[in-house]
Amino acid sequence: MIEEILPDLFRIKIPLPKSPLKYLNSYVIRAPERNMIIDTGLNRKECLEAMLDGLRELEVDLKKTDLFITHLHADHFGLVSKLVTDGTKTYFNRPDTEIIEAFGGWEPMLEYAGLMGFPRDELRNALDSHPGFKFKSEWIPELSILSDNDTVKVGDFLFKCIETRGHTRGHTCLYEASKKIFVAGDHILNDITPNIQCWSDQENPLGDYLASLDKVRDLEVDLVLPGHRRLFRNHRERIEELEGHHSRRIQEVLKILKGGPQNAYQVASKMTWDIAIESWDLFPLAQKWFATGEAISHLRYLEETRAIARETGEETTLFFLNQA
Ligand SMILES: [Zn+2]
């Protein structure tokens, strides 16, 4: 479960039961003054046990430990409320903090999903099966806000914050220049593609994400420490693959819209998904939800480039190809 990556830098694998992500990588940096844990796991028993077992083995005392959370998703933030003690600093970014603070319930998101064509009678069940809903932190501690380029020193490690908007609005990575390590959160993953979902017309997460891939391309990196799955090298190669993936997706969406105006849910049902289930109808509800969010991020991106436009009706929003 525990692996030493560099002297005083460890990974604890936190299991994510029933999730295709399999586990979250929590990184622990041991230092004489204060330790730091990067990302935590879902707020559920299996995650907490794995975390506490790991910390015990590393002899890391939570009273002398700070937290850094890459973004607001529950598999990263969820356990925070179980780990903070009186003196804990919980480092986090401003844009995701604003999302948490402005959160007025899930209704606007459900309403939006309905307009995007998600079957209205299934919305409530989709929400109930959403891990972000079930396993979120029950309260939010005081947060120490860090911005792009701010630094955090932990023992021998001097981490620089790199804001990488896309996967969430404030997603933030850490870069250690002298050791050439890049703590990627869910910005760059190996084996799987970070999901880029959109649930608001005010945003263009895919556009942001592609810009954020560009932003980290030129860093000198020996080792990427991702939020899930395997550690890897060659981050530039992986960035190229991810860019290729999204440009194929964009082409696929354009091709689907050649069939006529459609809502986002219909588009999602026709896209190819890397999931071992044969037909869209058999997809679990949570997967349909993620897929629809992904389809919307590609549609919003195409809308911003003016390749497509929309017509908003009472019941649903239809997207169609713009005539050149
Ligand atoms: Zn994640």
**All domains of the chain in start order, with CATH:** 2-233 (3.60.15.10)
Nearest to 79 by CA among 123, 44, 117, 109: 44
Distance 47 CA to ligand 1 centre (A): 13
Distance 150 CA to ligand 1 centre (A): 23
Helix or strand or coil: residue 35? strand
Distance 75 CA to ligand 1 centre (A): 5
Question: Tokens in use for 84?
Answer: 């903070």
Question: Tokens in use for 86?
Answer: 């009186």
Distance 307 CA to ligand 1 centre (A): 31
State the Cα–Cα distance between residues 300 and 132, nearest whole angstrom.
Answer: 23
Helix or strand or coil: residue 116? coil
Contact between 250 and 298 under an 8 Å Cβ cutoff? The reply is yes
Contact between 40 and 83 under an 8 Å Cβ cutoff? The reply is yes
Per-residue pLDDT of the chain (324 residues; tens, 9 = 90+): 899 999 999 999 999 998 888 999 999 999 999 999 999 999 999 999 999 999 999 999 999 999 999 999 999 999 999 999 999 999 999 999 998 888 777 888 889 999 999 999 888 888 777 767 677 787 889 999 999 999 999 999 999 999 999 999 999 999 999 999 999 999 999 989 999 999 999 999 999 999 999 999 999 999 999 999 999 999 999 999 999 999 999 999 999 999 999 999 999 999 998 877 888 999 988 889 999 999 999 999 999 999 999 999 889 999 999 976
283, amino acid identity: F
Distance 248 CA to ligand 1 centre (A): 23
84, amino acid identity: V
For residue 94, what are the contacts with CB-CB under 8 A and spacing of at least 6?
A: 145, 147, 170
Distance 70 CA to ligand 1 centre (A): 9
Distance 320 CA to ligand 1 centre (A): 32
Distance 43 CA to ligand 1 centre (A): 13
Distance 204 CA to ligand 1 centre (A): 20
Distance 185 CA to ligand 1 centre (A): 7
State the Cα–Cα distance between residues 12 and 279, nearest whole angstrom.
Answer: 36
Which pLDDT belongs to residue 275?
Answer: 78
State the Cα–Cα distance between residues 89 and 80, nearest whole angstrom.
Answer: 11
* DSSP string over 73-92: -HHHHTTHHHH--TT--EEE
Which pLDDT belongs to residue 324?
Answer: 62
Distance linking the first and last C-alpha atoms of the chain: 55
Nearest to 20 by CA among 169, 131, 113: 131
* E strands present in the chain: 2-6, 9-15, 23-29, 35-38, 65-68, 90-93, 143-146, 151-154, 157-163, 172-176, 181-185, 223-226, 308-312, 317-321
State the Cα–Cα distance between residues 290 and 275, nearest whole angstrom.
Answer: 12
35-38: strand order across its sheet: 2-6, 9-15, 23-29, 35-38, 65-68, 90-93, 143-146
Classify residue 214 by burial, with Cβ atoms within 10 Å: 0-12, 13-18, 19+: exposed
CA distances (Å), origin 124, targets 226, 260, 282, 286, 314: 32, 29, 18, 11, 20
Helix or strand or coil: residue 178? coil
Distance 188 CA to ligand 1 centre (A): 11
Contact between 266 and 117 under an 8 Å Cβ cutoff? The reply is yes
Distance 229 CA to ligand 1 centre (A): 10
State the Cα–Cα distance between residues 228 and 318, nearest whole angstrom.
Answer: 35
